[in-house]
Chain A
Amino acid sequence: MQEEELLRRSREGDLDCFNALVERYQDSIYGLALRLLGDSARAEDAAQDAFIAAFRSLRSLRGSFRPWLFRIAVNCCYDQLRLARRRRETSLDALRAEETPPAPLRDPGESPEDHAQRAELEMQINLGLSRLQPDRRVALALRDIQGFTYEDIARITRASLGTVKSRISRGRAELRDYLLAQGELLPSRYRHLSDEGSKAASR
């Protein structure tokens, strides 16, 4: 069934149709929450809250569903963030290694060494993300992980286009600086980038 049809029926209160939409989006919503919160339990809570809130406010939906749903999810993540800070438990700035999401399964053709390196890299990226200011982290995750346009991100985060550009640019640069500082953990090609840049310049 097409998304439009599912939405129309969901608006009329058809929970099965809405659950079909939930199934389509739950991985990406949970994934975003996990990258933003760095804690699987909080990410679950945020994702569940987002779908409940979305179903309750379906009537207010104007325009396309995906950015609207992500806007709700981002708000739920901010709620979880505030909750975490109030409880003074873990915060986004202190992501613990054991809470890092489990490494992906090994591809059939992947060697154990490659797999270990990939898992290590993912952990470093998560740690680097956790050190960004929340607004920059949100913008960067929406752009580079979820692939939203700058305009959509501006709508989702209710920020100006200029602010979105700045957040993405600074967020990327800070994450890059963090990863470069962990140089030895990174794939060799990452470390050689500066050499390539030098070669290109000398050509």
Chain B
Amino acid sequence: MARGRDCRRALRLVSEHVDERLNARERVALERHLEGCSDCRREYETLRFTASLLRSLPEPRAPRSFALERRPMRAPARWAWGFSAATALTAAALVFVFAADQAGLGRETSGPQPEPTAQSVVAAQDKSEGQAQAFGAAPAAEAPAGKGGGAEAVETPSEEDMLAGAPQPAGQPPVDREQAVVRVVVEASADTQAAADEEVATRMSALTRTLKEFGVKDEQIAPITQGSEEQQLTSPAVGATAARNALFSAVDGVEVTLDQPDQVGALTAAALANGASRVEKIAFDGEQVLSPAVQGGGEDRTWPAVPLLIGLGGATALGSCVAGAAFLRSRRAVRVSAANRPNPRRES
């Protein structure tokens, strides 16, 4: 139908006609159609009236002024820049230290240690009592006596010393004894003052009890008590090896709680040094007395904290650089904010 087609065309144009956007030819044709078509004319008139209603709306006054004011540059700006730089440097230093540690730098065991720990001092002083060697873990007997600084306390023992009374069980992979001994001396020497045989026995039973508490089965603890009484008492290295076996075969990681801090510390440390995969925590009355850093010696020892710390350090360094860059950029940028003034033109 001709009229329907005209109406469709007209309806497409009426809105633009309201805005007087049609060219002369379109306008003439549309007006001619509107003259004769009441539906399209109503459409046009109502649209035009709608537009006029919108145009007649009063413009609301802004409730306040949106004027801007310059934000004062704060004094700590320079301080913040220095802080960023310092953080970045510290983070970079951390990364270097941990990367170096991971790479094995500074791991020499025969050279003097420039900063001996209190524990290594104890080990040096107690060498004559043979406790460290008796525990099969830290034979510091070769260390020069009387050196309060303990500079050479952590001396590498000979292979014979290492293996005396501590036979490597079949099937166990060889461990890096050099490193293991160093760590045990450093970390376990707090216990080397324990001299008496009965003390050793106390330690053994405490260890047994502790292992049981941690779910280690009797047959796995048995090797500790299977040796002769004399052997147990005089050569705790057997116990150390057994503890190692028990720990290693029973659980991947174990948390050991002590009745007294020095009861089984040495044995557990020795077990760790001889290849127990890891000990989560050794605690006395809830306070950690053996840090996870003592984790078992061996070339394949893993220390998940190292990559974590490297990542953390890297992220901190990166973050500091970003913060520094943002800071520098913000100094160039104009800082403005709302002045929150009243609108002078707003009628009250």
Q: Does B333 contact A (CB under 8 A)?
A: yes
Min distance, Cβ A189 to any Cβ of chain B, angstroms: 8
Q: Does B60 contact A (CB under 8 A)?
A: yes
CB nearest neighbor in A for B344: A23
Which of A29, A52, A144 touches B68 (beta carbons < 8 Å)? A52
The answer to whether B53 and A125 have CB atoms under 8 Å apart is: yes
Cα A173 to Cα B48 in complex, Å, equals: 10
Contacts of A28 in B (CB 8 A): 59
CB nearest neighbor in B for A187: B53
Min distance, Cβ A19 to any Cβ of chain B, angstroms: 4
How many interface residues does A have (CB within 8 Å)? 53
Q: Does A179 contact B (CB under 8 A)?
A: yes
Which of A27, A145, A150 touches B62 (beta carbons < 8 Å)? A27
Residues A125 and B54 in contact in the complex (CB < 8 Å), given A150-B19, A172-B47: yes
The answer to whether B67 and A23 have CB atoms under 8 Å apart is: yes
Determine, out of B38-46, B143-151, B241-249, B311-319, the stretch whose residues face the partner at the interface: B38-46
Q: Does A1 contact B (CB under 8 A)?
A: no
Determine, out of A60-68, A81-89, A91-99, A192-200, the stretch whose residues face the partner at the interface: A192-200
Contacts of A34 in B (CB 8 A): 60
Which of B36, B41, B60 touches A31 (beta carbons < 8 Å)? B60
Tell me what chain A mostly uses at the interface: helix, strand, loop, or mixed.
helix
Cα A179 to Cα B150 in complex, Å, equals: 95
Which of B14, B62, B68 touches A55 (beta carbons < 8 Å)? B68
Contacts of A172 in B (CB 8 A): 15, 18, 47, 50-51
Min distance, Cβ B120 to any Cβ of chain A, angstroms: 60
Q: Does A133 contact B (CB under 8 A)?
A: no
The answer to whether B66 and A51 have CB atoms under 8 Å apart is: yes
Residues of chain B from 315 to 348 with CB closer than 8 A to chain A in the complex: 333-334, 336-339, 343-345, 347
How many interface residues does B have (CB within 8 Å)? 47
CB nearest neighbor in B for A198: B38
The answer to whether B15 and A165 have CB atoms under 8 Å apart is: yes
The answer to whether B54 and A144 have CB atoms under 8 Å apart is: yes
The answer to whether A194 and B46 have CB atoms under 8 Å apart is: yes
Min distance, Cβ B82 to any Cβ of chain A, angstroms: 27
Contacts of A165 in B (CB 8 A): 15-16
Q: Does B69 contact A (CB under 8 A)?
A: yes
Cα A150 to Cα B16 in complex, Å, equals: 10
Residues A23 and B345 in contact in the complex (CB < 8 Å), given A30-B62, A52-B338: yes
Interface string of A40-68 (1 = CB under 8 A from B): 10001001100110011000000000000
Q: Does B61 contact A (CB under 8 A)?
A: yes
Min distance, Cβ B56 to any Cβ of chain A, angstroms: 9
Known: A15-B70, A173-B47, A197-B41. 13 other contacts (CB 8 A): A13-B334, A19-B339, A22-B67, A27-B59, A51-B66, A56-B334, A125-B54, A125-B57, A165-B16, A169-B12, A172-B15, A173-B15, A190-B53
The contact sample of 16 A-B pairs, CB cut-off 8 A, is: A15-B69, A15-B336, A22-B68, A26-B65, A27-B62, A28-B59, A31-B59, A31-B60, A40-B63, A44-B62, A55-B336, A143-B19, A172-B50, A180-B46, A197-B39, A201-B36
Closest 6 CB pairs of A and B: A201-B38, A197-B42, A169-B15, A144-B54, A30-B62, A19-B67
Q: Report which A residues bind B (CB closer than 8 A).
A: 13, 15, 18-19, 22-23, 26-31, 34-35, 40, 44, 47-48, 51-52, 55-56, 101, 104-105, 121-122, 125, 140-141, 143-145, 147, 150, 165, 168-169, 172-173, 175-176, 179-180, 190, 193-194, 196-198, 200-202
Q: Report which B residues bind A (CB closer than 8 A).
A: 12, 14-16, 18-19, 21, 35-39, 41-42, 45-47, 49-51, 53-55, 57-70, 333-334, 336-339, 343-345, 347
